[in-house]
Structure 1
Amino acid sequence: MLNTFQQARHAVLPKATPQEASRQEFAKSLKQYIQHGLLPGLQPVYRGRAGKRFEREAGRAPADRHDIRKSMVPDIYFQHYAAVNRISQELLWDSVIDSIDSDPQALRAEADAASAANGGKLVVPEQFEVPRYVSALDIHCMPGGYAGEPGEQDVTLGALYDRGVFLYSMGYTGPNNDDMGRSVCNYIKRRLDGFSPKRILDMGCTVGHSTLPYKELFPEAEVWGVDVAAPQIRYAHARAGAMGLDVNFAQMNAERTEFEDGYFDLVVSHILLHETSGKAMPRIFEECHRVLAPGGYMIHADLPPFDLMDPFTQFILDNETYYNNEPFWGAMRELDQVKLAEAAGFPADTICFDTAPMAVMEFAAAQAAGYSQDAADSVADREFTAGEFAPGGGWEVLIARKAG
């Protein structure tokens, strides 16, 4: 079933003309067609001819996702799938750029006004070094990447990310792109026995999609979102203001923030780890341990490890590594995150992966409950009713608790 749900409106979301909106909807629909129309054909092609060809030539069956890739890349069906998938990714960004470029000054003015309405702090240092694993490429093929040029004072890359990610996810992360944050909030509410953090840090927050649900669920908490990309942070602060929430945002590197030891009760991230690097991940875990108070929780929501999947599923998912500028996507899934958490100082008996078999997407459950577009436009009308994790189909959480 195709998803036709629309992104919720707020003051700093780029405004599209009817023609631009139609082009954006086409880009989203094309991605849906690829997922529902082309992707299912890959396994029959592999079983029917590509895998057999590999076995004839290599004298053995494909052993892992890398062998499966070698067998599939020469096949015309896979080439068609991969090409259309990459074209659709570039098309979606182009369709959003048009609506931003039509009146960037108006977007900046609206962002300034919305940011002024946010009572939380905005911290963007004059000098900041963006790590190479972010600055060296346009992640997700997004033109300009997350961070843009050094010292850039703009918000347009944040606007591009906000709208583009909704199209990329085909709406399945909900009307506010916030399913992951809402999911972790639900996990805390249902699984952590009344845990009520007073200070919360969201690492690698980009435009704050997953940050804001923490302020909704814990309105008295001091909530911070940090990211290495200044354009994303500036936009995040404005977006929070436009949605009526006072949340702090700062340009900081999750490998080494500027916060005091033991400052936070909860440190979270949402799809951050697979966009860092093998050297950065251990430092991020160590930083989580440093800034957590005794008894505080570290929760990272990201991609499930490959060892939970069959090799063909691994191959399918690893296409992001090869064709969507996600160089750490596959490698991250092979790291032993439990050992990394232990090395960072978290007691072994507090560390676990969890893939609770509940609804994967908050928005899907909300639709079933009659969640309307009008409700999507109101922060007050949103309830934390679903949106957790499911093995194989969605996200997984790594949880650890600092010794208290």
Structure 2
Amino acid sequence: MLNCFQQAKHAMLPETTHDEASRQEFAKSLKGFIQQKLLPGLEPIYQQRVAPAFEKAHGRQPENRQDIRKCMVEDAYFQMYASTNRIAQELLWESTNVSVDRQLPELIEKAKQLSSESNAQLVIPEGFVPPRYVSAIDIHCMPGGYCSEVTEDDVSVGVLYDRGVYLYTMGYTGPNNDDMGRSVCNYLKRNKPDFKPRRILDMGCTVGHSTLPYKEYFPDAEIWGIDVGAPVVRYAHARAQAMGREVNFAQMNAEETTFEDGYFDLVVSHILLHETSGKAMPKIFNECQRLLAPGGMMIHADLPPFDLMDPFTQFILDNETWYNNEPFWGAMRDMDQIELAEKAGFPRTQVRFDTAPMAVMEFSAQSAGYDEASTGAVAERDFTAGEFAPGGGWEVLIAEKPLTASEVA
């Protein structure tokens, strides 16, 4: 798919000078070059040079991603790839931060004004303490992470995330960075056409980019986005208003929210699970089960578990753990998420993995006139190393809470 998307403008995005815009586009293009030109060279080097050397030294072939890493990290080509990829990641944040820092006072005032015009709630409790597994890490090398505040009413890391993630994904999450939420909504419309949630919760919403499609697809629903970072939910609230969507946001921990039992019909997350600790994930699943009304659904969208990939693909994706400040990335993909859902109280028969085709790819297919776009059959389920969403879709863990006996009757 030819990626021709540019990020859609809205009132909370900073203006860029010519030089700032050029540096940001360079960072985005450099990431594209790495993915399209450098990364494909890793597998032939592994097959033709590195794996034979490993077998000669150990008397066996590499068996898993750990074996592959041991031999690949010694190879000069991989070292060049990994270091260039890390430089590109740091460059995209640095090039964006210049624009944010230059306009931060104006952006804070604009956020306060937009939030005051919204009828939706913004809840930031006094004394809230974010969990250490988030606050102690600059996740994906983003300066300040999600929780850092440098001034009163700060929104800086929210602005940085909104622009930086567009560059990080090279535009493949669409003009509004909302492909994951839009893809899940498309999946629901296609597979659950009669499902009409009254209340929807997006856990780990950051700036609400994946939250807003739910308001578009379910306009009558009460929608909440929660995150542990105050700056990102402040920004999310103002951003939603700037984009014409009134959505509630709150600083809240997905492990233990303040909503009452059974309040939501749909609880979702988008790339949340790989940024939580192994101790937090079971608590999040338990909280989803508690929050859902009978007949409700839990959907977590992320990249696939490792057991659905070959070892070399695992190795490529696990580079995020080693080189991109994503310490829980690999560990999360090794966890049995279906078992976690079952232990949380979801019947085993009501838990499954599926693939939600990327909305931008469906859009591309429709633009090209392909009939299969209407069915969602846009891409084969083939996990290719290096793709942003392997197989052209997001892996979704789905669990449904059964109706009670009286409700079934």
Aligned to 1:68: 68
1:22 deviates by 0.7
Report if the CA contact (8 A) 2:147-2:228 is conserved: yes
Q: What is aligned with 1:398?
A: 397
Given that residues 230 and 251 in structure 2 are in contact (C-alpha distance below 8 angstroms), is that contact kept between their aligned partners in structure 1?
yes
Distance in 2 (alpha carbons) for counterparts of 1:388 and 1:159:
33
1:175: which partner in 2? 175
SS in 1 for 2:225: strand
Residue 294 of structure 1 corresponds to which residue in structure 2?
294
CA drift of 1:117 comes to 2.7
The verdict on how the C-alpha distance between 1:278 and 1:396 changes in structure 2, with shifts beyond 3 A counting, is same
Q: Could you say what secondary structure the match of 2:265 adopts?
A: strand
Deviation of 1:118 after TM superposition, in Å, equals: 2.3
Q: 1:183: how far off? A: 0.8
Assess if the C-alpha contact under 8 Å between 1:118 and 1:244 holds in 2.
no
- CA-CA distance at 1:369 after TM superposition: 4.6
Change in Cα spacing, 1:364 to 1:18, as seen in structure 2 (3 Å) is: farther
Q: Structure 2 CA distance, aligned partners of 1:52 and 1:4?
A: 41
TM superposition score normalised by structure 2: 0.91
- Secondary structure of the corresponding residue to residue 144 of structure 2: coil
- Match of 1:395, SS state, is strand
Matches within 5 A, 1:152-191: 153-191=153-191
Residues 1:2 and 1:324: Cα distance change in structure 2 (over 3 Å):
farther
The match for 2:358 is: 361
Instruction: Note the alpha carbon deviations across 1:311-338, whole angstroms, 9 max, x for none.
Output: 1111011000100001111111111111
The residue type paired with residue 91 of structure 1 is L
Once the two structures are TM-superposed, the CA of residue 153 in structure 1 deviates from its matched residue by: 2.8
Structure 2 residue 258 is the aligned partner of structure 1 residue 251? no
2:284 corresponds to: 284
> C-alpha separation between the residues in 1 aligned to 2:187 and 2:282?
24
Aligned to 2:135: 135
In the TM superposition, residue 52 of structure 1 has moved relative to its aligned partner by 1.3
Distance in 2 (alpha carbons) for counterparts of 1:151 and 1:252: 20
Whether 2:12 is the aligned partner of 1:15: answer: no
Shift of 1:367: 4.3
Q: What percentage of aligned pairs have identical amino acids?
A: 67
Structure 1: how far apart are the matches of 2:338 and 2:141?
A: 31
- In structure 2, C-alpha distance between the alignment counterparts of 1:259 and 1:169, rounded to whole Å: 33
Residues 117 and 242 in structure 1, CA contact (< 8 A), matched pair in contact too: no
| Equivalent residue runs for 1:294-333 within 5 Å | 294-333=294-333
Secondary structure class of the residue paired with 2:331: helix
From the superposition, tell whether residues 16 and 390 of structure 1 become closer, same or farther in structure 2 (CA, over 3 Å).
farther
Give the whole-Å Cα distance in 1 for the aligned partners of 2:115 and 2:364: 31
Once superposed, what is the RMSD of the aligned Cα atoms?
1.9
Does the 8 Å CA contact 1:180/1:387 hold for their aligned counterparts? no
* One-letter amino acid matched to 2:200: I
Name the structure 1 match of 2:387: none
Note closer, same or farther for the CA distance 1:201–1:111 as it changes in structure 2 (3 Å cut). same
**How far did residue 59 of structure 1 move?**
1.8
Q: 1:276 to 1:189 in 2, by over 3 A?
A: same
The answer (yes or no) to whether the contact 1:116–1:241 under 8 Å persists in 2 is no
**1:104-140 deviations in whole A, cap 9, x for unaligned?**
1111122222222322100001111111110111000
Rounded Cα–Cα distance in structure 1 between residues aligned with 2:292 and 2:56:
55
Letter in 2 for 1:206: T
Q: Which residue of 2 aligns with 1:48?
A: 48
Q: How far apart are 1:390 and its partner, in Å?
A: 6.2
Which secondary structure state, in structure 1, belongs to the residue aligned with residue 164 of structure 2? helix
The alpha-carbon distance between structure 1 residues 286 and 387, as it changes in their structure 2 partners (threshold 3 A), is farther
Equivalent residue letter for 2:33: Y
- Tell me, yes or no, if the aligned pair for 1:259 and 1:291 is still in contact at 8 Å: yes
1:352 and 1:225, CA in 2 relative to 1: closer, same or farther beyond 3 A? same
Structure 2 match to 1:99: 99
Q: How does 1:86-235 map to 2 (within 5 A)?
A: 86-149=86-149, 153-235=153-235
The 3 A distance-change label for structure 1 pair 91 and 338 is same
Instruction: Count residues with an aligned counterpart.
Output: 389
Closer/same/farther in 2, CA of residues 93 and 387 from structure 1, 3 Å limit = farther
TM-score (norm 1): 0.93
Deviation at 1:81, TM superposition (A): 0.2
Q: 5+ unaligned residues in a row in structure 1: which ranges?
A: 372-383
- Asked if structure 2 preserves the Cα contact closer than 8 Å seen for 1:226 and 1:252, the reply is yes
Secondary structure, aligned partner of 2:197:
coil
Distance 1:150 1:402, change over 3 A: farther
- Residue 386 (structure 1) shift: 6.4
1:177-196 superposed Cα distances (whole Å, 9 cap, x missing partner): 10110111111111124100
Q: Deviations over 1:188-209 (max 9, x none)?
A: 1111241000000000000001
2:386 maps to what in 1? none
CA distance in structure 2 between the partners assigned to 1:385 and 1:249 by the alignment? 33
Question: Aligned-pair distance for 1:403?
Answer: 2.1
Instruction: For 1:305 and 1:281, locate their aligned partners in 2 and report how far apart those are by CA, in whole Å.
Output: 14
Partner Cα distance (2:293, 2:104) in 1: 42
Please tell me whether the aligned partners of residues 157 and 231 of structure 2 are also in contact (alpha carbons under 8 angstroms): yes
SS of 2:208's equivalent? Answer: coil
State the match for 1:378 in structure 2. none
Residue identity matched to 2:295 = G
Aligned structure 1 segments of 4 or more residues deviating by more than 4 angstroms? 149-152, 367-371, 384-390
Contact 2:358 2:394 in 1 (8 A): no
State whether residues 65 and 311 of structure 2, in contact with CA within 8 Å, keep that contact through their aligned partners in structure 1: yes
